[in-house]
Amino acid sequence: MASSKDVLSPTTPHSPSRPELFKKLEARVSRRSVLRGAAGASALAVSALWSREALAQGQIGASRRRDPVLMLVNRLTYGQNEAELALARSKGYWTYLQEALYPPAPIDDSAMESFIAPASPYVDSIPADYPPHGTLGLGASRIVLGQTLLNREILTKRQAYEKIVECWLDHFNKSITKDGVDVSLARSNREVLRPHADGHFETLLEATMQDPSMLIYLDNHLNRAPKVNENYARELLELHTLSPVDRSGGAPGYDENDVRSLAEILSGWSVNTNYDASNPASFGSFLYVSNFHVTGDKPFLNGTILNGGQSEGAAAARAMVDHQSTAYFVAYKLARYFLSYDPPQGVLDAAAQQFMSTTPRGDIRAMIGIILQRNNIIDLASPGGGGLKLRRPKDFLVALARATSPSMDPNLYGLHSVARKMGNEAYGWGEPDGYPDQEESWVGAIFGRWEAAFSFFADPTTSQEGIEGISFSDAELQGLIGSQSTLADVAERINVILTGGVMTNYEVGVLEAFMQSASQVVSNPLQVVRDGLALGACTPTFQYF
């Protein structure tokens, strides 16, 4: 390993007169662009290189940003890193996509599993040890659960599967902030969501309809004859299946009468809340209470669900997944999550057709395979192609960790707390619609990312501002950056580490200019690199994927 002196020459700090180095920035950037042979040698043209609008309008020719393999990796993982990108390049687009969705052999994820093992008493034994609920109490289990999800997302080798899980965590959102959900969520994830996440939507839907955590979250465990509670039935139609907008262009598929009927169909679908020490597993399990069920035939979605007690639920589920609005809504949600904010209608048509073509309905991996066809990725940057997506705050943190591989302490929960501070705590969204998946909701608080980035790379030996459980020693940092001869090379190295090398020339020039200036006033050259990495994480390019 190279010593830090290969990277930067320490200089004596002197009183600040640094901005003159920025004056040279434009000239430097201009030179870089010429050296790289990028289009547009003037500083202005360079500064326009990274422009989502320009990209979407197809104004930029062979931008590296459009590398389909890199874009695919960023869609099937929580963020590229050098190893993943090299793997994808060696396999090629189609093979990488195929193997991400259908691994040719079981994936050994034991490293991740053992890393999260310290959390397992809280994650895996709830609610078996409820009421004692461990020794930490509810607040602590919330922290452990949240951090455990982050750790999974950073470390799992089943990245595509974990992305699918998150898509459904949002689609079938349950908030850990609600009493009863907090203690049932871990079991629900383990027994309901994760086993069905990459199977068929119909199967997943039926499982969620008997998910105690969901029934508690949307009050259906209390839904009983004669005065039904509409809460779950409404969201089941609006958020989980048909949605109010038919995305094939048809009329809305349901009305208030369907909400009412579905509430009656699901009356008596409850949860066992009697704790029996001799049979602790029965506590918190699904329970159908026939006495609480509204009897009689129910009109539903242009048909009738015949009086049949608990079996009415399966018939209603069938009616919902057979509805075109559901096929299109699920196609839209998957395409929006995996491809772009505004997926082309042709992509929705193809994915919805795939949804309808199987029994049970909605082969999730087959739909994602259609959505992520190579042409769709290439078209992203074309007019009407949908454009790039802004990383949500949690995903910003996870992508940063994946790109840089800090030392992580399995017993500390700082990253969770930062995600929470940024408004994106795992399981923390209160409403049933899941965290917003749109740029404009999150972009207004960009400052929080800057704070997080500088904390992320703080020197654990000198700073009190770091993130608990995340650290880079000087040696680790040196290993990450490698041996570079100039600050320009360090800046380019940061670009490769964080983005796979697709920052604009201007951004890389800013990193280099900053490090030149900072090295005049900071005695520790690796501190300059830390700040350079943080500024790299702050670049507009790193915010998008």
Partner 1 sequence: MRTKQQHTPAEALDAGDGQAPLRRNTRRALLTAAGLVAAPVALTKLSLAGTRGAGSGTRTLVTVFLRGAMDGLSLCAPVADSTYQATRGPNERIPLPSFNNGVKWLEPGTWALSAGGGGFFDAYNDSNLAFVQGCGVPHGVRSHFDAQFAYETMNPDALALPQDDGAVARLLKSIAGSSNLRACSISELMPRMLLDAPKGLAIPDPTDYDLPGDPLTLNLRKQALHEEYSNTSEPLRSIGVDSLGVIDLLAGVNFDSATLPSYPSSSFGQKMHSLAQLILDGFGLQAAQVDYGGWDDHTAAGPLDGKLHLRLQDLSQSINAFYQELKSKNAGDRYTLLIVSEFGRRVAFNGNGGMDHGSGNTMIVMGEGVNGNQVFTENWTGLANHIDLQGDLLMDFDARDVWAEVMVKHLGLAVGDVPTVFPGYTYNPRNVVS
Contacts with partner 1: how many residues (CB under 8 A)?
Answer: 95
Among 76, 266, 511, 526, interactor with partner 1 by CB under 8 A: 511
Q: Is 122 in the site for partner 1 (CB under 8 A)?
A: no
196 or 420, CB closer to partner 1?
420
Cross-strand pairs, 303: 300
Residue span binding partner 1 (CB under 8 A) among the ranges 112-120, 137-145, 482-490, 494-502: 137-145
Residue of 7, 8, 25, 155 interacting with partner 1 (CB under 8 A):
25
* Binding piece for partner 1, criterion CB under 8 A, among 75-83, 302-310, 326-334, 517-525: 517-525
Strand ranges for 352-505 from DSSP E: 407-408, 470-471
Based on the shown chain and the rule CB under 8 A, indicate whether residue 244 belongs to the binding site for partner 1: yes
Hey, is 536 helix, strand or coil? helix
Longest Cα separation, the chain: 85
- Determine the Cα–Cα distance for residues 381 and 406; give it in Å rounded to an integer: 32
Q: Calculate the CA 61 to chain-centre distance.
A: 29
Q: Which is nearer to partner 1, 413 or 545 (CB)?
A: 413
Contacts of 421 (CB under 8 A, 6+ apart): 448
Least distance between partner 1 and beta carbon 534 (Å): 8
* Residue 322, token pair as written in the block: 């057979």
Residues 450-469 that bind partner 1 (CB under 8 A): 450-451, 454-455, 458, 463-468
- State which of residues 51, 210, 373, 382 lies at the interface with partner 1 (CB under 8 A): 51
Contact (CB, 8 A) for 228 and 263: yes
Pick 103 or 250: Cβ nearer partner 1: 250
Interface with partner 1, residue 139, by CB under 8 A: yes
Note whether 398 binds partner 1 by CB under 8 A.
no
H helices, E strands: number in the chain: 32, 6
Q: How far is the CB of 205 from partner 1 (least distance, A)?
A: 19
The stretch near partner 1 (CB under 8 A) out of 1-9, 47-55, 203-211, 324-332 is 47-55
- Is residue 172 a contact residue for partner 1 (CB under 8 A)? no
List CB contacts of 266: < 8 A, sequence separation 6 or more. 209, 220, 223, 232, 233, 236, 313, 316
Pick out residues in 399-438 that bind partner 1 (CB under 8 A).
412-415, 417-418, 420-424, 430-431, 433, 436
**With binding defined as CB under 8 A, does residue 27 bind partner 1?**
no
Q: Is 467 helix (H, G, I), strand (E, B) or coil?
A: coil
Q: Token pair of 79, please? A: 């963020």
Helix (H, G, I), strand (E, B) or coil at 452: helix
